[in-house]
Amino acid sequence: MLLNEMPRLLLDSGRRSIVPAALFAITTACGGGSTPPPNEPDDMAILQEQEEGQSNDKVLAASNAEVQRGMDALKANNFAEAERIFAQARIDAPNDAQAAHYHGVALEGLERFDEAVDSYKKAIELEPKLLASPQNLSALLQSLERYQESLSVAEAGLKVDPEDPGLLINRAYAVDLLGDPEKANPVALAAYEKALKAAPDNLNLRYYYARALAVAGDKEKALTQLSKLPLDGIEVPVVEIVAVYNQLGAFAECDQVLSTKIAEDKTVELLIYRSSCRLGNKDEKGAEADLREAVATDESSAVAHLYLARYLAKVGKKAEAKKHLDKANALKAAEK
């Protein structure tokens, strides 16, 4: 029996993430639920590297004093001031690619996205080797759901440097997003493989590759990728990883992975996730034990009481279910 009517609630944990209703009946295909995050260079980190004298082959040191002032404003997250400075810098030096690029960064920070697109395009026109510009532009176009344009920008940049990690990542995401989320996408799989060779430590990239493999029905390769994702919830939320395990029907493997993590750090969140894997594996006793342990782990967790209540109601233990439902409601009311 699967719980397929679970509520969408915020979990009571240090990281706080969302457990979707579909957790207990995962059918989401790659690209259908969440979409790959746009990949763009960390311009603040680039600026810091420049300030400390470290080399960076994608963005040169400030081309002039005015650009440097604008970069300083960006480091201070003062996008309005940076935008003003770079707008003037572009008037004073219309052929300065850096001024155009960082003007795009400032405009993006101000959520003036169409203007940022134009600014990045101008930077690319002025200096095609300034690869931070196509990286930023292809990422921004993805966030605007302009996937074909994003792909075109990434592929044009890769003609300058075929091994650029950021552009390879953006190309993989764009190809995936342009495909049918319900069908295998061999072109996306090949793009992910190439991007991972260039950026093997990118956990988001590895996760979305695993999702694409799951859609393609390649269980063995998908499990290999999932096994390389740490369940620390920092970059890829645990719920997303569990979703792919469930999508693969790899309930036993999901149970094993979460059991290892729970042995290190038992939390309400992880216990609820493991209960979903155990339900998928038809281990109802184990699932119930997990939900009861979640309540025991944190009696003040409304979501733990609620999940246990819903489970107990499903198996006919209505009196006990009501008790936990009342407790969950009381705890939620107390939070307001």
pLDDT digits (tens, 9 = 90+) for 144-171: 999 999 999 999 999 999 999 999 999 9
Q: In the chain, where are the structural domains located? A: 1-31+230-336, 34-179
pLDDT digits (tens, 9 = 90+) for 27-73: 233 334 467 877 766 665 555 444 443 333 344 578 899 999 999 99
Give the Cβ contact number of residue 92 at 10 Å. Answer: 12
In angstroms, the CA 301 to CA 290 distance is 14
Q: Give me the count of residues in the chain.
A: 336
pLDDT, residue 172, reads 97
Give the Cβ contact number of residue 10 at 10 Å. Answer: 11
139, 148 Cβ separation under 8 angstroms:
no
Return the closest-CA partner of residue 278 out of 13, 9, 2. 2
9 by DSSP, 3-state: which? strand
107, 12 Cβ separation under 8 angstroms:
no
- Class of the domain covering 34-179: mainly alpha
Same topology between domain 1-31+230-336 and domain 34-179: yes
136, 104 Cβ separation under 8 angstroms:
yes
pTM (two decimals): 0.78
Long-range contacts of 187-190 (CB under 8 A, 24+ apart): 188/212, 189/213, 189/216
- Both structure tokens of 202: 């990118």
pLDDT < 70: residue spans in the chain? 1-34, 40-60, 233-234
pLDDT, residue 2, reads 28
pLDDT, residue 66, reads 93
What one-character DSSP code corresponds to residue 223? H
Fold for 1-31+230-336, please state it. 1.25.40
